[in-house]
Amino acid sequence: MKHLFSALIIVALVLGISSRAHSQGEITLLCPNPIQESMDKLVAAFDAKTGSHVKVTYGSGLSTRKTVASGHALDVSILFAPFPEALATGNIDPNSATVIARLRLGVAVQKGAPPVDISTAAAFKKTLLNAKSIVAIDPAGGSAGSITLAALDKMGITDQLKPKIKWLQNANLVQDAVAKGEAEIALGPYISEMHNPGVDPLGTLPVDVSTPVDITGFLSTSVSDAKTAKALLTYLSSHEATPIYEEDKIFPVK
């Protein structure tokens, strides 16, 4: 009986140590949903590689920034630039900023429709001015919308396009409108979001019209497990993650 009691104590201690070790490897991650498909794969690979557990919360590009700006950053928060309001709160560590990949805005037409020229800034501007109808994400509804509007402002054609551009709530509605022939050009979903079989993605906006969007990870100033959180950021920005980004039309950091 004495030996049995001792054995039970040893088992309890081992289980307790194991449980504490596991809990130390548990971290939370906040991430924008335009990269959810890639992030699900990356997190699964990271968990398998390290034995950690990453609990992910997804939101839109805008809502994730608002979450951090309101003081609710998770252990690791992934944000689409720009994010001055999020940095101003002090609940993420600016020194931990790690660009893990980049996004670019895409252009699409209805499946089978003649392609339009987006090869240069001048050609793209002419294409938009000649288009009969355009749909894009509402700047108030998604981060891609505000970046689209900034591109139009940069080209100086925002006012000229007002009569023929319609701002919709999300990327799916934008693509649906073009797939159904309700609009000629889909402008503004990230190229990684263009999965609608009824559209032909033509490519990304020229970089001198729209700068690629940095996808940046930060550690919380109250991170629960700094070692695991840092390891996750390192993994997400590593060459090991590159094939997954490229498969999903996200641009790795070179």
Q: Is 227 part of a structural domain of the chain? A: yes
Q: Tell me how many domains the chain contains.
A: 2
Q: Are residues 109 and 188 in the same domain?
A: yes
Residue 55, pLDDT score: 97
Q: Is 188 part of a structural domain of the chain? A: yes
Q: Are residues 93 and 112 in the same domain?
A: no
Q: Are residues 112 and 195 in the same domain?
A: yes
Q: Are residues 116 and 98 in the same domain?
A: no
Residue 8, pLDDT score: 38
Residue 210, pLDDT score: 93
Q: Are residues 163 and 234 in the same domain?
A: no
CA triple 219-103-138, angle to 5 deg = 100
**Cβ proximity of 231 and 192 under 8 Å:** no
C-alpha to C-alpha distance for 171 and 135, rounded to whole angstroms: 10
**Cβ proximity of 70 and 86 under 8 Å:** no
Q: Is 13 part of a structural domain of the chain? A: yes
Q: Are residues 52 and 73 in the same domain?
A: yes
Q: Are residues 86 and 113 in the same domain?
A: no
Q: Are residues 55 and 139 in the same domain?
A: no
Q: Are residues 110 and 87 in the same domain?
A: no
C-alpha to C-alpha distance for 184 and 197, rounded to whole angstroms: 16
- Domain holding 239: CATH number? 3.40.190.10
Q: Is 159 part of a structural domain of the chain? A: yes
For 148-181, write each residue's pLDDT tens digit: 999 999 999 999 999 999 999 999 999 999 999 9
Print the domain residue range for 246.
2-102+214-252
Q: Are residues 68 and 113 in the same domain?
A: no
Residue 143, pLDDT score: 85
C-alpha to C-alpha distance for 77 and 28, rounded to whole angstroms: 8
Can you state the percent helix, strand and coil of the chain, rounding each to 5? Answer: 45, 25, 30
Q: Is 209 part of a structural domain of the chain? A: no
* Among 94, 99, 115, CA closest to 211: 99
Res 37 pLDDT > 50:
yes
CA distances from 203 to 47, 118, 194 (A): 33, 8, 10
CA distances from 137 to 174, 182, 202 (A): 7, 15, 17
Q: Are residues 20 and 49 in the same domain?
A: yes
